[in-house]
Structure 1
Amino acid sequence: MNTSTPNRSVITDNCPPVRNNQLPSHFSLLSPLFRESYLTAEYCMLSNQPKLGGIYVIPSSQSPSLWFGVVFVHHGLYQGGVFRFILKFPDYFPDSGQIPVLSFHPPIFHPQIHPTKGTVDLKRYFRHGWIRGNNHVWQVLKIVKSIFYKMDLSHPVDKSAAEMFEVNQENFIAKVQQEVDLSVSRVYDEPPDGYKDPHYIRFSKYDSSLHDNIRAKALQPLFNVLKSPVRSDEAAKKGLSFMSTP
């Protein structure tokens, strides 16, 4: 599987340094320019956040208030799932106090995801609304990622899913596997109506004539480390966690 969208580190390489997301005082807090600058700063912050592996986002080419995203689930009940989502920021964000709206397309069978709207109830995590300077978009993404690894049945959005998990986990697991299989079968689908955007995250099937050379170049540094007579502690520093230090 190959994605035509640049990875997050490439996209954010040219982002200016940001501290506490502070912008010049002459920006009107309600202006579109301020909102765009704020969201650009928030997007740049993502590259510095740990534990966001497996989740990718990119702003729409049409509006900074609309982001496209996809999460790859690597273990747990939803392992193997490739779930797409849309992140929308409200008007007058971030100073209206309103929380962004994140929805999965299509909806996923999950206690914390609305069965028809696909939305995640973020209000339970931001009980005082969105507070600029305290709250950040990376927190939203961490929350969304976490719901696939830790099953929280308190205040479920989809009560039928929560009830099935408690009463009949075998049926729940079977239903989840159907969701995972469906997500994989749709991974190469074109964008749905209303989201035909150049920045919509698309995937293409592996083509050895195109991708073998790229794959070899990407793996070459790892092969060089494995072949070199370096000390194990030096190898460990290069990210080879299976090599123990003396």
Structure 2
Amino acid sequence: MRRRAKQEEPTAAAVDLDFADRDRALKDYKIAVEYKHLWQHAPGGVYVTPDLDDLRIWHGVIFVRRGMYANGMFKFSVELPQNYGDAGAWPRLVFMSTVFNPLVKPSNGELDLRLMMPGWNPAGGDCMLKVITYMKKIFYTKDFALAAPPNPEAQRMFRDNKSGFAERAAACVEESLSRRYESPPGSSLKFTEPRPAHDSVAARILGAQIGVPAAAGGGDAGAEAEGGDAMEA
């Protein structure tokens, strides 16, 4: 009669590893759900896509339609920490090109999220849709009243020298356009230079739209409405 092999008990290390794997899988699932929510409700003019190799890195771009940053095409990246989903686990949003703005750190291009979201709490509604909406607002706001802005020079100039601020913002727009074909590794958000073959396709698309009335509201109207907001903290 063959003896039954003794079943080994799982070690504490194996149990801890299994728990860690499950915890990470659950966090990854929540990130995927949150991205889908963002994809369905993202504000106009903003596009975001996950990195090809890392779910916790997102690449995005905002097309600014009006205001001092009009015609800008600002690319940015988002990094979600390993414990993202927990209270106090802020994401990081960093612009690829210069954004001269009271809410953007001049040293590294990072958007200051803690100023407007001092206690990151997913249970209280903090999420990436809120971050992206806030990011869009900084390009359209008509007033900044921040007690301790990340870029004090930008706030002073915005308040005391609007024409000078407008020049700095225009320079940011030019830089963003000059770098529009640059893409970080892992990004599927790529822009290529126009080619003659594209002209015929564009002509067909535009030709098909001739005579079709524009939809009421949406798009630019939404951007203008956001432009009246003020940033205070």
Instruction: Give the TM-score range, shorter chain.
Output: 0.7 to 0.9
Aligned partner of 1:115 in structure 2 is 106
Q: Indicate the residue corresponding to 2:180 in structure 1.
A: 187
Partner of 1:166: 159
Residue 33 of structure 1 aligns to which amino acid in structure 2? A
TM-score by length of 2: 0.75
Structure label with greater radius of gyration: 2
Report deviation, 1:100. Answer: 0.7
Q: Residue 152 of structure 1 aligns with which residue? A: 144
Letter paired with 2:189: I
- Tell me the distance in 1 between the aligned counterparts of 2:119 and 2:84: 15
Report the equivalent of 1:4: none
Q: Indicate the residue corresponding to 1:43 in structure 2.
A: 35
> Kindly tell me: are residues 29 and 102 of structure 1, through their superposed partners in 2, closer, same or farther at Cα, counting changes over 3 Å?
farther
Provide the rounded CA distance (Å) in 2 between the counterparts of 1:116 and 1:181.
19
Q: How many residues align?
A: 197
> Structure 1 residue aligned with 2:92, among 101, 115, 125?
101
Per-residue deviation, 1:63? 0.9
Q: Which SS does the other structure have where 2:114 is aligned?
A: helix
SS in 2 for 1:83: strand
SS at match of 1:47: helix
The TM-score with structure 1 as length reference comes to 0.72
CA RMSD of aligned residues (A): 2.5
1:203 aligns with 2:191: yes
Deviations for 1:145-198, whole angstroms, at most 9, x for unmatched residues?
000000424131100111112222221111111111111111123x3xxx311x
Q: Mark the CA change 1:48 to 1:133 in structure 2 (over 3 Å): closer, same or farther.
A: farther
Unmatched runs of 5 consecutive residues or more in structure 1? 1-26, 227-234, 242-246
Deviations 1:30-77 (A, max 9, x none): 722112111111111123326x11111100011111001111110011
Q: Tell me, which stretches of 5 or more residues in structure 2 are unaligned?
A: 1-18, 218-233
Helix, strand or coil at the partner of 2:144: coil
1:202 & 1:57 partners in 2: Cα distance? 12
Amino acid at match of 1:188: Y
Note if 1:212 corresponds to 2:200.
yes
Give matches, 1:11-90, under 5 Å: 31-49=23-41, 52-90=43-81
8 Å CA contact 2:158, 2:165 repeated in 1 = yes
Counterpart CA distance in 2 for 1:161 and 1:204 is 32
Q: Structure 1 residue 134 and structure 2 residue 125: aligned?
A: yes
**Alignment CA distance shift 1:214-1:33 (3 Å):** farther
Pair 1:96–1:29, CA change in 2 (3 A): farther
After superposing on structure 2, the runs of 4+ consecutive aligned residues of structure 1 that deviate more than 6 Å are 27-30
Letter in 2 for 1:74: R
Partner of 1:122: helix, strand, or coil? coil
Q: 1:30 to 1:100 in 2, by over 3 A?
A: farther
Identity %: 25
Mapped to 1, the partners of 2:153 and 2:110 lie a distance apart of: 16
> CA contact under 8 A between 2:98 and 2:176: conserved in structure 1?
no
SS of the equivalent of 2:122 reads coil
